[in-house]
């Protein structure tokens, strides 16, 4: 890798969109037209559908260009942690690469160990692990909802939404409540006749980087006899129980949103994953033992899906050890990087929805049509981020998402701050003060 963070060599030529075929029907043309923005980016933009040729720490090579990576979800840097990497071969020696029993047919004892450690970490009654959160939402939401009514966060993650669609196809009704609005949920629940109620929402939001007020949502759900189902994919490993001794506002131990808000698991089901902070392919549902045992026979992935690879199970077990010994230090680094970026944005008067100092920082553009140019400029400066294009997000939110990890270096964050400063100077980003006064005017009762 070149000594400087940014390579001066020209990068590989951009890919071209596929030529249109004469055999294509008109409906295909119409459908493709509606996705034109995103497809143009995917086919021609170096930061979309990119092939990563090589990594070196948190630097990645795409073609000839080396970039600092701010698009991965490996918040604690476990993917690169030497202690975790060194722990894996012994597990492979013992278990081979991949036990291909589905879990109902044969669960290596590693699963029992993971579920026991996880249960202790979360402070819940019990936990069941399955390969991914997507598997959990698609199978568990329909079971919990049965033919009752689901109250779905209007901006819930796509995988929660899809789980609710499966539930609907099996007879559940779905109502949407406004994002971050427990009062609206309260209104909908109060008006609902159906006694079987399930509330589905995100924990730490994957775009705004903020956690919902879980205490308020749990209180509303309990008051109306509903079960609250929360997906904290991005919070697990990052936020945890609060303590006067905590080194940063993320709290301690990374034991997720329920503990972070000092809430109990009474009528709350927590879903989370190891594929973000723990850099492994595994996910969990924290629930009472009775529910766990029922899910073992009723949730299809426990029987019908293949299990996680042994390297993933080993990564989780080694990750628990590292989390216990060095987790606070890693979260301290993560917080320091995130706080530096947020402080610079504030200094530049650049808008971001992030109010939490968590490591997910979305930066919307002033003009949604500039996404291609802004992405190219960031790429040229050696900064790799997630582009959020229309129609994946509403036009007013088109921009890019920065994710920081404990494995990023200060020099990489410097590079990011310089690029963001340049974009602000060029007038590409939204003004924070203009946003504040616009939202003050929209507030009920504003003059």
Contact residues for ligand PLP (CB under 6 A)? 132-134, 157, 159, 202, 206, 231, 233-234, 273, 275, 283
Q: How far is the CB of 74 from ligand PLP (least distance, A)?
A: 12
Q: How far is the CB of 8 from ligand PLP (least distance, A)?
A: 34
d(CA 406, CA 90): 26
Q: How far is the CB of 421 from ligand PLP (least distance, A)?
A: 29
Strand ranges (E), 96-157: 126-130, 149-153
Q: How far is the CB of 159 from ligand PLP (least distance, A)?
A: 4
Q: Which residue from 324, 347, 343 is spatially nearest to 335, judged by alpha carbons? A: 343
Q: Which is nearer to ligand PLP, 69 or 231 (CB)?
A: 231
Q: Which is nearer to ligand PLP, 118 or 350 (CB)?
A: 118
Q: Which is nearer to ligand PLP, 61 or 155 (CB)?
A: 155
Q: Which is nearer to ligand PLP, 273 or 364 (CB)?
A: 273
E strand or H helix that includes residue 121: helix 109-122
End-to-end CA distance of the chain: 57
Partner residues linked to 393 by β-bridges:
none
Q: Which is nearer to ligand PLP, 66 or 111 (CB)?
A: 111
Task: Write the CA distances from 269 to 176, 230, 241, 289, 292, integer angstroms.
Answer: 19, 6, 17, 12, 11
Partner residues linked to 271 by β-bridges:
231, 285
d(CA 233, CA 397): 22
| Three-state secondary structure call for residue 444 | coil
Q: How far is the CB of 117 from ligand PLP (least distance, A)?
A: 19
Q: What phi and psi, each to the nearest 5 degrees, are found at residue 236? A: -60, 130
Partner residues linked to 286 by β-bridges:
127, 270
Q: Which is nearer to ligand PLP, 129 or 406 (CB)?
A: 129
Q: How far is the CB of 24 from ligand PLP (least distance, A)?
A: 32
Q: How far is the CB of 295 from ligand PLP (least distance, A)?
A: 16
Kindly write down the DSSP assignment for every residue of 71-99, as one continuous string: ----TT-GGG-HHHHHHHHHHHHHH-S--
Q: Which is nearer to ligand PLP, 74 or 275 (CB)?
A: 275
DSSP 16: P
Kindly write down the DSSP assignment for every residue of 357-385, as one continuous string: --SEEEEEBSSGGGHHHHHHHHHHTTEE-
Q: Which is nearer to ligand PLP, 119 or 134 (CB)?
A: 134
Q: How far is the CB of 231 from ligand PLP (least distance, A)?
A: 5
């Amino acid at each position: 890798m070149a000594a400087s963070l940014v390579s001066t060599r020209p990068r590989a030529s951009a890919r071209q969109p596929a030529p249109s075929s004469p055999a294509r029907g008109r409906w295909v043309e119409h459908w493709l037209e509606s996705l034109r923005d995103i497809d143009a980016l995917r086919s021609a933009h170096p930061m979309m559908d990119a092939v990563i040729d090589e990594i070196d720490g948190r630097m990645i090579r795409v073609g000839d260009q080396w970039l600092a990576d701010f698009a991965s979800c490996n918040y604690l840097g476990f993917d690169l942690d030497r202690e975790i990497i060194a722990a894996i071969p012994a597990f492979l020696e013992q278990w081979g690469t991949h036990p291909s029993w589905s879990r109902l047919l044969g669960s290596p004892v590693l699963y029992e160990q993971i579920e026991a450690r996880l249960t202790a970490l979360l402070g819940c009654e019990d936990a069941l692990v399955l390969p991914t959160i997507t598997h959990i939402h698609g199978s568990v939401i329909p079971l919990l909802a049965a033919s009752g009514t689901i109250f779905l966060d209007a901006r819930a993650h796509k995988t929660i939404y899809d789980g609710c669609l499966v539930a609907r196809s099996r007879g559940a009704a779905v109502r949407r409540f406004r994002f971050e609005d427990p009062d609206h949920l309260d209104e909908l629940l109060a008006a609902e006749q159906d006694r079987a109620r399930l509330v589905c929402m995100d924990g730490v939001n994957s775009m705004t980087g903020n956690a919902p007020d879980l205490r308020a949502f749990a209180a509303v759900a309990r008051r109306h006899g509903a079960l609250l189902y929360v997906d904290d994919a991005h919070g697990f490993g990052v936020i945890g129980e609060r303590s006067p001794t905590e080194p940063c506002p993320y709290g301690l131990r990374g034991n997720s949103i329920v503990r972070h808000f000092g809430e109990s698991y009474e009528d709350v089901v927590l879903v989370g994953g190891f594929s973000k902070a723990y850099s492994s392919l595994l996910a969990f549902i924290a629930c009472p033992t009775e529910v766990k045992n029922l899910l073992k026979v009723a949730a299809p992935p426990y029987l019908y899906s293949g299990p996680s690879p042994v390297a993933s199970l080993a990564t989780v077990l080694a990750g628990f050890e590292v989390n216990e010994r060095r987790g606070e230090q890693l979260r301290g680094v993560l917080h320091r990087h995130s706080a530096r970026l947020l402080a610079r944005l504030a200094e530049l008067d650049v808008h971001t929805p992030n109010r939490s100092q968590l490591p997910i920082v979305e930066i919307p553009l002033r003009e949604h049509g500039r996404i291609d140019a802004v992405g190219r400029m960031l790429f040229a400066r050696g900064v790799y981020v997630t582009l959020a294009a229309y129609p994946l997000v509403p036009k007013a939110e088109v921009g890019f998402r920065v994710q920081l990890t404990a494995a990023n270096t200060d020099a990489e964050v410097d590079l990011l701050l310089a690029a963001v400063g340049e974009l602000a100077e060029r007038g590409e980003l939204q003004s924070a003060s203009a946003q504040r006064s616009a939202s003050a005017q929209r507030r009920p009762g504003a003059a």
